A and B are shown apart, each in its own frame.
Chain A
C-alpha cells in the first residue's frame, strides 16, 4: 500500500501498524516522536493497535528542545 510519511510517498506492506512503521522508517527514538495520522494526533498507546491503510497521511512530529542543551 502507499502511505505519505512526512510528505513523502512510501510503498509499504499491507497491514502495517504505526509502531511497525516507526521501525521501518528507522526512527531511533520513538519516545521522542508524536504521530499524526490523517490530521489526528494518536495517543502513544495507539501506536501498536493502529493499522495503517492505503493513502494514509502520517506525520512524525519530533520533540525539540533547545540546541543550547545546558550550554
Chain B
C-alpha cells in the first residue's frame, strides 16, 4: 500500500512522528479494530481510531439488555457519548456512530454489528480483528469479551468507569494477566452499585475511552509500553493516575495452570436497571 497525496496530508502529524512514519501509518490503514459498545467508552475510541486512519473499525452494539430501545440514542446518553449528537436522539446508536466515524474520515471502513455480543456470536466476530476495545457497561459482557479474546487469542483493552473513577488493562491473551486472573467471576447481583450510587462524570468516559484507543494504536504500531500486566487507575477528583503491577494468576480458571473454563459461556447478567429500580 502506498499513501496518496491526500493521505500524506491528512496523516502528516502522524507521519512526522519517528515512531509512526509512513510505514506506521500504512500499518494503521491496514489494521482492524473492533469496538464493543457504542457508548461512553466506544464514542471517543471510535472517533479517534477513525481519525487515526485505522482502516477497518467494527462496532458492536445491541443495546442494553433488558432496556427497550436500549440500542437507540437517548437524551441521557449525550452527556458523555460524544459520538452521538442531539439530532441523533431516537436513531440507532450503531448507525449514529458509523456516520460520525465516516464523517471524520471517509478513508476508513466501518462494519456494524447490530446485536448483543453473546457466547454464540462473539468468537466469530472478533476473530477477524487485530485488537478489541471493551466499551461495554456490564460485567457479563466484560467476562464474555475476556474469555472470547482468550480463546481466539485476540488482544484487547478492558476498561471500567464509575462515578469519578476509571481503570483499564490491556490483555495479551495467554501472555499477560487476564480479567479473570484478577476477578474470578462477576460480582453478586446485590453488590453491584444501585442506581442511586451509580452515575458518571461524562468526561471521565472520554479520558478512559481515549486511553483505550491509545493502547490499540500502540499495539498496532508495536510501539511503547502497553498496559499489559498493569492496571491503570484514574480518579478525576484527585487527578491521580496509578499503575498497579499484576502477575498472571496460576489459579485463574481461564488461563491458569489448570483451566476449568474450556468453552465460552454467557455469565449471568448483572446490571442495575434504572427503569425498574426502586431506588
Question: Which residues in A have some Cβ–Cβ distance to B below 8 Å?
Answer: 6-7, 29, 31-32, 34, 36, 39-41, 43-44, 59, 61-71
B70 partner residues in chain A, CB cutoff 8 A: 70-71
User: What is the chain B residue whose CB lies nearest that of A66?
Assistant: B137
Rounded to whole angstroms, the CA-CA distance of A36 and B142 in the bound complex is 20
Rounded to whole angstroms, the CA-CA distance of A6 and B245 in the bound complex is 11
B244 touches A61 (CB 8 A): yes
B184 touches A44 (CB 8 A): yes
A39 touches B247 (CB 8 A): yes
A65 touches B204 (CB 8 A): no
Interface residues of B in 129-184 (CB under 8 A from A): 135-139, 142, 160-163, 165-167, 181-184
A64 touches B166 (CB 8 A): yes
Q: Is B260 an interface residue when CB atoms closer than 8 A count as contact?
A: no
B123 partner residues in chain A, CB cutoff 8 A: none
Is chain B's interface secondary structure helix, strand, loop, or mixed overall? loop
A59 touches B183 (CB 8 A): no
User: What is the chain B residue whose CB lies nearest that of A67?
Assistant: B200
Minimum CB–CB distance for A71 against chain B, Å: 6
Question: Which residues in B have some Cβ–Cβ distance to A below 8 Å?
Answer: 37, 39-41, 64, 66-67, 70, 74, 76-77, 80-81, 135-139, 142, 160-163, 165-167, 181-184, 186-188, 191-193, 195, 198-201, 204-205, 231, 242, 244-247, 249, 251, 271-275, 277
User: What is the chain A residue whose CB lies nearest that of B270?
Assistant: A65
Rounded to whole angstroms, the CA-CA distance of A69 and B66 in the bound complex is 12
Given A32-B187, A68-B200, 18 more pairs with CB closer than 8 A: A6-B242, A7-B242, A29-B191, A32-B192, A39-B246, A41-B247, A61-B183, A63-B183, A64-B162, A65-B138, A65-B162, A65-B271, A66-B136, A67-B201, A68-B81, A69-B272, A70-B137, A70-B277
B161 touches A66 (CB 8 A): yes
Contacting residue for A61 out of B67, B199, B231, B273, CB 8 A: B231
